[in-house]
Amino acid sequence: MQGALDDSGLDTTAVGAVMASANGNQVLDRMEALALGELFTAGGGVMPPVTAVKSHLGESGAGGVAQALAALGVLERGTVPPTVGGEANDAGGPKVHLVTGEALKPRERPR
């Protein structure tokens, strides 16, 4: 993830939301939460809203396409869809800003 930011010339404050790959597997979800925590909260940074499209679909061959479409929906509608069945930090990793319940607005990019 840091490599992608480096390649783009952006930093973590430019990320308005994260479309996590979380699929409900506690080990993999925890690893993803740890990586997100390391990237976004190092040096006192703030975690953007995180959602997991796979919580709606489960693990499937269409997961990547669904995540891309959901990301486009975030850009179009200006809201991050909630994660189904997830509770913030239930994977035992660092605190992530997991969207549950109501959809949220993405974090605004500083100007």
DSSP string, 46-107: -PPEEEETHHHH-S-TTHHHHHHHHHHHHHHHS-BPPPSS--TTTTSSS--EE--SS-BPPP
Does the predicted model carry a pTM greater than 0.85?
no
Write out pLDDT tens, residues 66-100: 888 888 888 888 888 888 776 655 555 567 788 88
Write out pLDDT tens, residues 55-68: 777 677 777 788 88
What are the distances in angstroms from CA 56 to CA 42, 48, 82, 84, 97? 30, 20, 9, 6, 18
